[in-house]
Amino acid sequence: MNYIVVDLEWNQSPYGKEAEIKEIPFEIIEIGAVKLNENKEVISSFSRLIRPQVYNDIHSITKEIIHIEISDLVEEETFEYVIKEFFVWCGEDYRFATWGNMDLIELQRNIDYYGLEGYIDKPIPFYDVQKLFALDYFKDRKPRTLEFAVDKVNILKDEEFHRAYVDAKYTADIFKLLDQNIVDRNYSIDYYHNPKTKAEEIHLHYETYYKFISREFESKELIMANKDINSVICHKCNQRITRKIKWFTTNSKTYYSLGYCKKHGYIKAKIRIKKAVNNNVFAVKVVKIITEEDAQLLALRYLEAKKRKKEKRIRISNK
């Protein structure tokens, strides 16, 4: 298997939010990528500019960051042409690696906007090098900039950041230095195209937590009533837990629960309700072991949420 380390640069409406096209808020204008073999050796590279078709000028922020004018792009090929060329270059057996998770989201959003089929149509595993760098060098998941990482590992900064190929090359340089055990154990899943059936649902078992991505439902109420989603077991020993706090929400999009495993201690579960492209919803559930102190903080959040809910009921009844 090869690794495709990819970076994108994109433009947005130069005339403000009101002129933005909802289906494509960020239009890709440059793709840069480095192909590594299974030994993380560079075997090929890809660099293309793209002629815009949605926004006819470059946003001032984009100009400032990547130093591109619309005149630099008018003679380039369109996205439809370049993306076909890109996926041919990728080959058959590969996995993406990116700095953060935004590039793959915008890549798929652009593909969907132009009605292109046969590229990415389901959840895909990928390597979030930003997350992996944090885990390897700092034992946390705090996001750090690409330039910070380059400085940390003493990579020579011989080219300016914020051009697609240069950022892809720097990302590949960092990726090559990461502990392979950390890389293998902590791959990510992009679910821009979320699971559609129960058979496609995703179960991910990491070293410190468990992640579940559900199929689609018509409402969040159906999600929270589903036993596969609302049940919680200890991801370390697969045993049922004692429920300490039932599911509660602070914003109707994120739900929390607290339990206790006799062997592994307090268990926090979190469900995020995500909207699918067709306006259905699906769930992303994360289950992890937490400290007693974190359990107490979660209990306080529960009491606060319960208090706000009661106050809301009183306000409504008094109207």
| pLDDT at position 273 over 90 | yes
Spacing of C-alpha 300 from chain mean position:
29
Distance CA 13, CA 27 (A): 9
Assigned token pair, 122:
């389901």
Residues facing residue 306 across a β-bridge: none
| pLDDT at position 277 over 90 | no
Average pLDDT of the chain, as a whole number: 95
What pLDDT, on the 0 to 100 scale, is given for residue 237? 95
Going by C-alpha positions, the residue among 317, 310, 269 that lies closest to residue 289 is 269
AA letter at 211: K
Strands 209-213 and 281-289: antiparallel
Spacing of C-alpha 231 from chain mean position:
25
Q: What value does the mean pLDDT take over residues 293-311? A: 94
Return the SS3 of 221.
helix
What pLDDT, on the 0 to 100 scale, is given for residue 8? 98
Q: Are 101 and 190 in contact (CB under 8 A)?
A: yes
pLDDT in tens, 200-232: 999 999 988 999 999 999 999 999 999 999 999
Distance CA 172, CA 97 (A): 8
Assigned token pair, 134:
């944090």
Task: Please give the DSSP secondary-structure letter assigned to residue 147.
Answer: H
What pLDDT, on the 0 to 100 scale, is given for residue 232? 95
Please say whether the dihedral angle defined by the alpha carbons of residues 309, 312, 318 and 319, taken in this order, is positive or negative: negative
Distance CA 48, CA 140 (A): 34
Going by C-alpha positions, the residue among 93, 80, 65 that lies closest to residue 9 is 65
Going by C-alpha positions, the residue among 169, 131, 163, 126 that lies closest to residue 10 is 163
Q: What value does the mean pLDDT take over residues 263-268? A: 97
Return the SS3 of 52.
coil
Residue 70, CA distances (Å) to 43, 67, 79, 308 in order: 32, 10, 15, 51
Task: Please give the DSSP secondary-structure letter assigned to residue 217.
Answer: B
Q: Which CATH class is domain 2-188?
A: alpha beta
What pLDDT, on the 0 to 100 scale, is given for residue 292? 97
- List the 188-190 sheet strands across, edge first: 42-49, 27-36, 2-11, 94-98, 124-128, 188-190
What pLDDT, on the 0 to 100 scale, is given for residue 29? 98
Distance CA 237, CA 151 (A): 41
Q: Are 43 and 56 in contact (CB under 8 A)?
A: no
What pLDDT, on the 0 to 100 scale, is given for residue 319? 67
Map tokens 């009491």 to a residue.
303
What pLDDT, on the 0 to 100 scale, is given for residue 162? 94
Distance CA 17, CA 243 (A): 45
pLDDT in tens, 4-18: 999 999 999 999 889
Domain ranges of the chain: 2-188, 195-318
The runs of H, that is alpha helices, within the chain are 60-66, 79-90, 102-113, 129-138, 146-152, 164-177, 180-185, 220-225, 227-230, 292-318
Residue 51, CA distances (Å) to 9, 31, 75, 132, 175 in order: 12, 12, 7, 33, 30
